[in-house]
Amino acid sequence: MLQSFEFKDRKVILRVDFNVPIKNGIIQDETRIVKTLPTIQYLIQQGARLIILSHLGRPLKELLPDGSINYSKFSLQAVASKLAELLNCKVYFAKDCGDEDTQLKLQSLAAGEILLCENTRFYKQEEKGDSEWAKKLAAFADFYINDAFGAAHREHCSTATIARFFDKDHKAFGFLMQQEVENGLKVLQNPNRPLTAIIGGAKVSDKIELISSLMDFCDAILIGGGMAYTFLQAMGYHIGNSLCETDKLDLAKTLLDKAAVKKIQFLLPEDSVSGQHFANDTNIQISTDQNIPEGFMGLDIGPKTIVTYTQHILNSKTIIWNGPMGVFEMENFSTGTKQIAEAVSRATQQGAFSLIGGGDSVAAINKYHLQDQVSFVSTGGGAMLEMLEGKQLPGVQAILN
Ligand code: AMP
């Protein structure tokens, strides 16, 4: 536990997830930075000499045309300024991660001061989980704290390998990561029942493993979004021009069979709001059954489905939600997602535990200002999905073992 350590005057490496969207040097959404402030503030108040590490984007995968790294696009410099502004204190910035500039600035770093190092992913060793580089970074500090839940599913140098160089009394989760892990475990270990998962989003291929794992411990799964139509097609319904992954039809059938064998309730939309084109301003039809009219595409769950799903949600004691019910970015196809968000919020007020599991469902819950009306909104899209899939997260294991 973070609180059980004595940090005064000690050097502490804090790995965070500052992978924020930046356009022309301006941070578009600072949520990830804000979420780590409690850990940062705690450590500096305790008098730690704080070295912060983070990745930003995928600089080695998005090289410049001449094959070199786009340092300016993927620099954490703008994050250093934002962090200083949010904390109202000076934040030193090292132009490298662990090399000369880091070492120089570290020499004069006093208790309670912060040094943010440049993007860990500028180094090819990072994504390889390279032991030598991890050892070099570890040597800078007495403690290692991981608050980067969003990167916990990666076995990278600064998220996992580095922790091997610290014993149990010198490493811990940050406050955010602790909360993420505890809330994830709440639904995985002895959840109150009925346990309902609401899964939406564009593609079934992204969530096959998730749906299959959820079938092992959920009582009901409610499917919405574009992925519903691959299932409906697999069941023989007409889906018009709706999104369909034809190469995943067999897998969809396998999942439908698994749901039947497991005797869990696996619900698909009973009706849909369909559009002629993928646009807000298009001809709209509300189907009365599971078939989509020729020339139309299903873009939201329909009114009957909303009623059925809402009833299920209100009867649940634990709720997991990942993925919107429709193209909620377009006003005419946002009702399903909005109503489901409201149902999750109402169920929570009635005592259910609700976990919003990352990605676009987080954007949706924020859009309807319901983020404070649910039990927990995860910051880690991919990491939370992998946790719910029952996988061990390298970043978590590295702290625990
Ligand atoms: P995901 O990242 O897989 O959770 O997908 C989220 C995206 O799925 C959002 O941008 C939605 O607009 C999109 N989406 C939801 N429902 C549909 C649908 N019926 N057809 C096409 N796209 C959809």
Q: What is the DSSP string of 183-215?
A: HHHHHHSS--SSEEEEE-SS-STTTHHHHHHHT
Segments forming the whole domain that contains residue 229: 190-387
Specify the ligand 1 atom closest to the Cα of 326: 16
My answer on whether 45 and 137 are in the same domain is yes
Q: What's the one-letter identity of residue 246?
A: T
Mean pLDDT of 162-184: 97
- Number of domains the chain contains: 2
Query: What pLDDT, on a 0 to 100 scale, did the predictor assign at position 330?
Result: 97
Q: What's the one-letter identity of residue 359?
A: G
Mean pLDDT of 355-361: 84
Q: pLDDT by residue (tens digit) across 9-40? A: 999 999 999 999 998 889 988 989 999 999 99
My answer on whether 80 and 209 are in the same domain is no
Closest CA to 79 of 101, 103, 54: 54
What are 115's strand-pairing partners?
51, 92
Q: pLDDT by residue (tens digit) across 286-336? A: 998 999 999 999 999 999 999 999 999 999 999 999 999 999 999 999 999
Residues in the chain: 401
- CA of 207 relative to ligand 1 center, distance in Å: 12
Closest CA to 97 of 131, 81, 75, 120: 120
What are 11's strand-pairing partners?
49
C-alpha 356/C-alpha 378 separation (Å) is: 6
Span of 153-167, 312-326, 378-392 with lowest mean pLDDT: 378-392
pLDDT interval class at 357 (50, 70, 90): confident
Helix axis angle, 303-314 to 335-349, nearest 10°: 20
Which of 179, 198, 222 is at the close of a domain? 179
115 CB near ligand 1 (under 6 Å) = no
C-alpha 266/C-alpha 222 separation (Å) is: 6
- CA of 327 relative to ligand 1 center, distance in Å: 5
Looking up residue 194, the CATH number of its domain turns out to be 3.40.50.1260
Substitution candidate for ligand 1 out of 360, 361, 367 with most atoms within 8 A of CB = 360
My answer on whether 213 and 339 are in the same domain is yes
What are 114's strand-pairing partners?
50, 91
My answer on whether 175 and 194 are in the same domain is no
- CA of 202 relative to ligand 1 center, distance in Å: 4
C-alpha 197/C-alpha 356 separation (Å) is: 10
Residue nearest to atom 10 of ligand 1 (CA): 327
- CA of 286 relative to ligand 1 center, distance in Å: 18
204, pLDDT greater than 80: yes
My answer on whether 77 and 226 are in the same domain is no
Tell me, yes or no, whether 399 lies in a domain.
Answer: no
pLDDT interval class at 175 (50, 70, 90): very high
| Mean pLDDT for the chain overall | 96
- CA of 350 relative to ligand 1 center, distance in Å: 29
243 CB near ligand 1 (under 6 Å) = yes
Helix (H, G, I), strand (E, B) or coil at 375: coil
My answer on whether 254 and 370 are in the same domain is yes
C-alpha 7/C-alpha 145 separation (Å) is: 11
399 CB near ligand 1 (under 6 Å) = no
> What would the two tokens of residue 220 be?
């009901």
pLDDT interval class at 378 (50, 70, 90): very high
Tell me, yes or no, whether 396 lies in a domain.
Answer: no
77, pLDDT greater than 90: yes
At a CB cut-off of 8 Å and minimum separation 6, what does 87 contact?
37, 40, 41, 44, 114
My answer on whether 174 and 216 are in the same domain is no
Query: What pLDDT, on a 0 to 100 scale, did the predictor assign at position 24?
Result: 87
Q: Tokens 């941070």 sit at which residue?
A: 27
150 CB near ligand 1 (under 6 Å) = no
Query: What pLDDT, on a 0 to 100 scale, did the predictor assign at position 46?
Result: 98
Which of 128, 144, 179 is at the close of a domain? 179
- Over its C-alpha atoms, the chain yields an Rg (Å, rounded) of 23
pTM of the model: 0.90
Residue nearest to atom 21 of ligand 1 (CA): 226
My answer on whether 234 and 356 are in the same domain is yes
Query: What pLDDT, on a 0 to 100 scale, did the predictor assign at position 31?
Result: 87
Distances, alpha carbon 373 to alpha carbons 69, 346, 350, 370, 376, in Å? 43, 8, 11, 5, 9
Phi and psi (nearest 5°) for 367?
-60, -35
224 CB near ligand 1 (under 6 Å) = no
My answer on whether 127 and 199 are in the same domain is no
203, pLDDT greater than 90: no
- CA of 158 relative to ligand 1 center, distance in Å: 32
Substitution candidate for ligand 1 out of 208, 271, 273, 327 with most atoms within 8 A of CB = 327
Residue nearest to atom 20 of ligand 1 (CA): 226
The secondary element (H helix, E strand) that includes residue 90 is none
C-alpha 379/C-alpha 363 separation (Å) is: 11
pLDDT interval class at 362 (50, 70, 90): confident
105, pLDDT greater than 80: yes
Tell me, yes or no, whether 241 lies in a domain.
Answer: yes
Tell me, yes or no, whether 259 lies in a domain.
Answer: yes
381, pLDDT greater than 90: no
Residue nearest to atom 13 of ligand 1 (CA): 202
363 CB near ligand 1 (under 6 Å) = no
My answer on whether 21 and 103 are in the same domain is yes
Tell me, yes or no, whether 400 lies in a domain.
Answer: no
329 CB near ligand 1 (under 6 Å) = yes
Tell me, yes or no, whether 357 lies in a domain.
Answer: yes
My answer on whether 15 and 127 are in the same domain is yes
Helix (H, G, I), strand (E, B) or coil at 140: coil
383 CB near ligand 1 (under 6 Å) = no
Residue nearest to atom 17 of ligand 1 (CA): 226
324 CB near ligand 1 (under 6 Å) = yes
My answer on whether 205 and 167 are in the same domain is no
Tell me, yes or no, whether 23 lies in a domain.
Answer: yes
Provide the percentage of residues in the chain whose pLDDT is more than 90.
Answer: 91
Query: What pLDDT, on a 0 to 100 scale, did the predictor assign at position 380?
Result: 85
Tell me, yes or no, whether 397 lies in a domain.
Answer: no
Which of 179, 204, 219 is at the close of a domain? 179
Q: Which residues are catalytic?
A: 32, 203, 359, 382
Query: What pLDDT, on a 0 to 100 scale, did the predictor assign at position 328?
Result: 96
- CA of 326 relative to ligand 1 center, distance in Å: 6
C-alpha 109/C-alpha 60 separation (Å) is: 30
C-alpha 337/C-alpha 333 separation (Å) is: 8
Closest CA to 323 of 352, 296, 357, 299: 357
